Amino acid sequence: MPPSADRSPFRHTLRVYWEDTDAGGVVFYANYLRFFERARTEWLRSFGHSQQRLREETGAIFVVAETSIRYLRPARLDDELDVTVELLEAGRATMLIAQQALRGDVLLAEGKIRIGCVDAATLRPRRIPLTLPSGHLPLPA
Amino acid sequence: MPPSADRSPFRHTLRVYWEDTDAGGVVFYANYLRFFERARTEWLRSFGHSQQRLREETGAIFVVAETSIRYLRPARLDDELDVTVELLEAGRATMLIAQQALRGDVLLAEGKIRIGCVDAATLRPRRIPLTLPSGHLPLPA
Amino acid sequence: MPPSADRSPFRHTLRVYWEDTDAGGVVFYANYLRFFERARTEWLRSFGHSQQRLREETGAIFVVAETSIRYLRPARLDDELDVTVELLEAGRATMLIAQQALRGDVLLAEGKIRIGCVDAATLRPRRIPLTLPSGHLPLPA
Amino acid sequence: MPPSADRSPFRHTLRVYWEDTDAGGVVFYANYLRFFERARTEWLRSFGHSQQRLREETGAIFVVAETSIRYLRPARLDDELDVTVELLEAGRATMLIAQQALRGDVLLAEGKIRIGCVDAATLRPRRIPLTLPSGHLPLPA
């Protein structure tokens, strides 16, 4: 991938609601996976891709194959969070994506998500049926 | 329906985990709908009915058409709750079910749930393709 | 409350993500309670009220006392929904709110939510410590 | 830690309900974090430890600091899953735990969870205020 000093990661803004919190008074850690996924969905949409339409037209759905997340600082009710999406690697049937959740400049959680593309009916791996802008989807060598 | 003084409602026991709570320190109210559904699923299972198999064999799924719930007292982390299921009415394509969530003798939440049976592919109403014990499924007059 | 023919209900727009759906291929019905609450939270915010700050400054939190919801049509992944909020009644310690979820002009779910105000520490009822615009919060007679 | 060929990991059994699934027809991957946590909670309970009581008596709560999970095979509605808990490392304020979700002999998901102990009021790290059986809580050298 060529250097691209000016390419800042995609950013999706969301709000913390009651549903997201737990009895510790903070966002329940499992919910960062939901936040990360909302951001990935909006990132795809920013290239014109709707997953519902993708499924109807090609039979393909994305599935999460692997997640590793570090939880650094708590978020609370009413916080406004930014969630970033950065494509690290892209292959024929998988993508590796780095994501962060921030409140202003404060990093709350970050991680990497490996996504696979499968056939919705058989759940077998298949080629990703979409084109991301070339800066975002480096072809494997 | 004939009198049946000895028929106590079906009862499913569950535990409150972190995932069920919110920043108020208590069970998030929307989660009682999840608790009620777990109990209905186990109630069907107590008659030998699995919804996954029902769908595979008949194409039918149950959908919730209406819920009215009163939240009376809070439940907390680690509480053990009993959730009851009582069939109030049963028609060709719908059921009306009364449910309660209790901690010991203390009533925490209660409500009525109207369930419809639909075809999984079309989501159109269809006849309920199963037989509940006659004491539990009064035929409509 | 004075007549106000021009007062349309508050409206919050949200997107359906994977997390909101179930194996029926549609939005899991319990999640409309989450959608409705997001809209109520944004409705309060539109008057300048943050629930987190309200709690820190006054010790008050809102709790849901009663919900009755009708589920009319399914929503699907990627749908954009509008959720409305309309204050029907307001007393010293409770509010009754009507809400709808729509996709364009199509009504998907609607219901009424009774909210109580309690002290966060004791969970006992207390007076609502905020002022909504008079058109929205009729004082009890 | 002395060899203990007979020590099989703790095992918690749970059922997949509608609430756990997504529009892919399978368990939503983020929900394995909920399943894993239920199992950890029951594992602590098997030693006589309730997190609610721990908090009331000592002010301590456990928080998740890091998770890395691999999703291997899908689970479906009505599946019965076993979730295991194995303590890999234990320090003064943290634990590292390995977990698996299985359907019969089939491994569906597995991962490692790093848990920290914090003060509920300040969210600052503190010593774990409980004793696990020595076979389960190796003291740091």
CB contact under 8 A, B22 and A26: no
Q: Measured between CB atoms, which of B34, B78, B79 is closest to D19? A: B34
How far apart are the CA of C141 and the nearest CA of chain A, in angstroms? 32
**Structure confidence at residue A138 (pLDDT):** 43
Question: How do residues D32-67 score in pLDDT, each as one tens digit?
Answer: 999 999 999 999 999 899 999 999 999 999 999 999
pLDDT score, position C3:
45
| D97 membership: H or E segment, kind and range | strand D94-103
Q: What is the mean pLDDT of residues D122-133?
A: 86
Percentage of chain A lying above the pLDDT 70 cut: 89
When scoring B46, B67, B78 by the number of chain D Cβ atoms within 10 A, the one with the most, hence best to mutate, is B78
Q: Neighbouring chains of B at 3+ CB pairs within 8 Å?
A: A, C, D
> Is the predicted pLDDT of residue A80 greater than 70, yes or no?
yes
**Confidence at residue A5, expressed as pLDDT on a 0 to 100 scale:** 45
Taking CA–CA distances from C32, the nearest residue in chain A reads: A19
Q: What is the pLDDT of residues D111-123, one digit of tens each?
A: 999 999 999 999 8
Contacts by residues D48-51 (CB-CB < 8 Å, ≥ 24 positions apart): D49/D130, D50/B78, D51/B18, D51/B77, D51/B78
Q: What is the mean pLDDT of residues A45-63?
A: 93
The nearest alpha carbon in chain A to B19 belongs to A22
Distances (CA, A) of B72 to B102, C67, C94: 10, 12, 14
Per-residue pLDDT of chain C (141 residues; tens, 9 = 90+): 444 444 689 999 999 999 999 999 999 999 999 999 999 999 999 989 999 999 999 999 999 999 999 999 999 999 999 999 999 999 999 999 999 999 999 999 999 999 999 999 998 999 999 877 655 554 443
Which residues of chain B neighbour A30 with C-beta distances below 8 Å?
A: 19
Are C70 and B74 inside 8 Å of each other by CB?
A: no
Which amino acid, C8?
A: S
- Smallest Cα distance from D7 to chain A, Å: 28
Torsion, Cα D86 D89 D95 D98, to 10 degrees, reads -30
In order along its 141 residues, chain B shows pLDDT tens digits of 444 444 689 999 999 999 999 999 999 999 999 999 999 999 999 989 999 999 999 999 999 999 999 999 999 999 999 999 999 999 999 999 999 999 999 999 999 999 999 999 998 999 999 877 655 554 443
Mean pLDDT value of segment A133-138: 52
Using the Cβ of D38 and the Cβ atoms of chain B, whether some distance falls under 8 Å is answered with yes
Looking at residue D138, what is its pLDDT? Answer: 43
- Give the one of B31, B63, B65 whose C-beta lies nearest to C24's C-beta: B63
> Is ipTM over 0.95?
no
Q: How far is B34 from chain A (nearest CA, A)?
A: 13
Q: What is the pTM of this model?
A: 0.92
Using CA atoms, how far apart are residues D137 and D130, in angstroms rounded to an integer?
Answer: 10
* Nearest residue, CB atoms, B77 vs list A23, A26, A30: A23
* Neighbors of chain C with 3 or more C-beta pairs under 8 Å: A, B, D
Number of residues that this document lists for chain B: 141
Q: Report the mean per-residue pLDDT for chain D.
A: 90
- The alpha carbons of chain D give a radius of gyration, in whole angstroms, of 16
- Our answer to whether residue A22 is catalytic in this structure is yes
Cβ–Cβ below 8 Å for A77 and B24: no
Show the tokens assigned to A21: 């919190």
* pLDDT at position C133: 63
pLDDT value of position B37: 98
Nearest residue in A to C31, CA atom: A19
* Residue A68 confidence (pLDDT): 98
Amino acid identity, residue A88?
Answer: L
The counts of H helices and E strands in chain D are: 2, 5
